[in-house]
Structure 1
Amino acid sequence: MAIPGIRSDPFPAFNFLVSLIDSSSVLGSITSAINFVAGGGFTECSGLESTLQVEEYSEGGENRFVHKFPTRITYSNILLKRGVTLSEDLWNWHASYINGNGKRRDGVIILNNELQIPIKTWVFKRGLPLKWTGPTFNAAQSAIAVETLEIMHEGLELISAGTALAQAGEAISSAF
């Protein structure tokens, strides 16, 4: 939907927040909501991908094409990277599975525009920390120490498609 007077350029990919939500209990969800911004310090988020698998069927006597029918959706793993800080939350989540008492988490990934208004929001369900990777140390470089977490999940959903921007645009246009 075009908004008069508002350009609809593609949004830059550097302005995003990520939060991991303990959805196993009501208390965990409330605590995660309170700490929502604290989880947002990631420098990179990749793997927002879903693929529709198809099954091919060769019909007897039909040699011009092969029928293709949709079957399942598969989702790529989400890869989160951030600079190493005093927080040990990613390591602790992964280590809880190593110790046999881990809990799955849902996650929210929000893309903001330059005014910090949420534009797109993706939610993944039942995340599982597959792989934690610590920083690479090299005394010859002055790079930031980065930790990586790979998360497998069971579904990805787009929650909002620019609703906040559309409402802001309507508010601006009605003011004039």
Structure 2
Amino acid sequence: MEALENFKSIIDPNPALSHRFGVFFFAGGVFPNPIDFRFQKVSGLSAEIQTDTVNEGGQNLFAHRLPGKVNYNNLVLERGYSTSFVPSPLTQEFNIAFSAFKFAPSNVIVTLFHDFEGTSAPLGAWHFFKAYPVKWSVSDLDGESNTVLIDRMELAYTRFQSIRL
């Protein structure tokens, strides 16, 4: 019975909640963006290893499946359309990418927070390397709806790494 209690103290029986997170942009990989860190939704945190099939001569029961390259989905960020007088560096970066076709890749860290005895503490994070804008959209304008206008931004990146804190 004591072994079971020790095991319970090692393994956290409470899974992490997904609603406490922040998105941090580092221009040039160093300077943090102090304005753009609150988002309503983050998606696209996934990676998949592509496999190559190799058939062996005379072997008809199976084919060899060998690991190939890693494919990543775009990092998708959603937030309410900003009406602030303070200019958003992220919005400016998207404007430059889509109007002047100039890109300044930056590192992005998505951090998951956990409530630890009334204090919010980082629980884990995902580090996206050399992220740059690839898609930008705004939700539909609808005169019959009374919903928040959503800004949707997609970033491509070279790779990501999971960080456990």
TM-score (norm 1): 0.78
Which structure: greater helix fraction? 1
* 8 Å contact from structure 1 (residues 53, 71) kept in 2: yes
Using the alignment, how far apart are the partners of 1:41 and 1:51 within structure 2? 27
- Report the residue type matching 1:59 in the other structure: E
Structure 1, unaligned runs of 5 or more: 164-176
Q: Would you say 1:47 and 2:44 are equivalent positions?
A: yes
Using the alignment, how far apart are the partners of 2:70 and 2:11 within structure 1? 35
Q: Would you say 1:57 and 2:54 are equivalent positions?
A: yes
SS of residue matched to 2:92: helix
Structure 2, unaligned runs of 5 or more: 1-6
Alignment of 1:1-176 (within 5 A): 4=9, 7-23=12-28, 29-30=30-31, 32=32, 35=34, 38-85=35-82, 86=84, 87-97=87-97, 98-115=99-116, 116-159=120-163, 161=164, 163=165
* 8 Å contact from structure 1 (residues 17, 39) kept in 2: no
Percent identity reads 20
Instruction: Give 1:66 deviation, angstroms.
Output: 0.6
Q: Return closer, same or farther for 1:3/1:108 CA change in 2, 3 Å cut-off.
A: farther
Using the alignment, how far apart are the partners of 1:100 and 1:133 within structure 2? 17
Q: Which stretch has the larger CA shift, 47-56 or 115-124?
A: 115-124
* 8 Å contact from structure 2 (residues 108, 131) kept in 1: yes
Instruction: Give 1:90 deviation, angstroms.
Output: 3.0
SS of residue matched to 2:93: helix
Q: Deviations over 1:96-123 (max 9, x none)?
A: 1221433111100001113421111100
Using the alignment, how far apart are the partners of 1:5 and 1:125 within structure 2? 32
Count of aligned positions: 152
Q: Deviations over 1:31-81 (max 9, x none)?
A: x16x2xx32210000000111011111111111111011011111101000
Which structure: greater strand fraction? 2
TM-score (norm 2): 0.83
